[in-house]
Amino acid sequence: MQIARKFATITFLLYHVNLTFKKTIMKKLLIAFLISTTGFLNAQQMAFNFVEITAKENSQDKIAELFDEFFGERERKSGGVFLERLRHGREDGRTHRIVFLWELDNGGWVTMPSEAEGDAFWRGIRNHVESWGSARAGRIMNLHPGDTEKYPTIHIWDIKSGDPKAFAAAQVELVNNSNGAFDGRTVAFGTYDVNKPNGATHWALVAGEDLNDHMSLYQELQTTHSKAFYKYIEDRGEAVQIHDFIVERLKTYQ
């Protein structure tokens, strides 16, 4: 009887030691998985940072030349750099904006330019800039990539989104169910995380050839593809428009 009790006690202890060991191993594996998953998600998550400027009169070509010289042959780890001209809806006399795009935790150069090269570039830019405006940063939550050479004109809406996940899902569904209306066009949705413009929390954009092409797209969506368009309006949730504007992509370095 005593032997049986001792055997049962030993079995019980071994079971709990084994269970504790398994729990410890599983906990460590779970932590490792979460760390690796977080790193993976960050590596895939695109972010942006841009600054608006007021260029001196007739200086656009000179600024573009400086961009070509500095960014043209340099390889970045991810993302890209864009020089854009502000058009309809621009504020405070701003004329252009400089946009940096990168994967979180994977930004910067493959080969870092020297400090002297960087200083020379920004000194050249400052010589052609009358004043500097706001800088803002955020993330891209949804992206339907397009041909920026064919469609360089981008219409951007700054909004307050009540349900960002619903907005992103509705945008994807609209693109997929509009019978090719968005083929070749960049369509995107994302957040403002730093220096939100007039309280806007998010932004949405679509690219086109020019102003007329944008108007033609909106006409097509509201007539030929009205079912998909108004379903998008309904499904995206509350979205309050704060401001909208158009930019023209002048230079792309990716």
Identity at 184, one-letter amino acid code? G
Q: What share of the chain is helix, strand, coil (3-state, %, to 5)?
A: 40, 30, 25
Runs of H (alpha helix) within the chain: 2-44, 60-71, 115-127, 164-176, 211-223, 226-235
Give pLDDT, residue 44. 84
Domain 45-253 has CATH 3.40.50.1980: no
Identity at 197, one-letter amino acid code? P
Identity at 161, one-letter amino acid code? S
Give the residue among 86, 62, 140, 99 at the shortest CA–CA distance from 253: 99
- Mean pLDDT, the chain cut into blocks of 10 residues (254 residues total): 42 40 37 34 79 98 98 95 98 97 96 96 98 98 96 98 98 97 98 97 98 98 97 97 98 95
Are the C-beta atoms of residues 134 and 220 closer than 8 Å to each other? no
Are the C-beta atoms of residues 239 and 164 closer than 8 Å to each other? no
Whose structure tokens read 């954009």?
A: 205
Give pLDDT, residue 39. 35
Name the pTM for this structure: 0.82
Question: What is the rounded CA–CA span in Å between residue 228 and residue 73?
Answer: 43
* Cα distances (angstroms) measured from residue 98 to each of 33, 53, 167, 172, 210: 37, 8, 27, 27, 20
Question: What is the rounded CA–CA span in Å between residue 150 and residue 172?
Answer: 21
Give pLDDT, residue 43. 44
Give pLDDT, residue 25. 36
Are the C-beta atoms of residues 85 and 60 closer than 8 Å to each other? yes
Give pLDDT, residue 160. 98
Question: What is the rounded CA–CA span in Å between residue 149 and residue 82?
Answer: 12
Question: What is the rounded CA–CA span in Å between residue 130 and residue 94?
Answer: 10
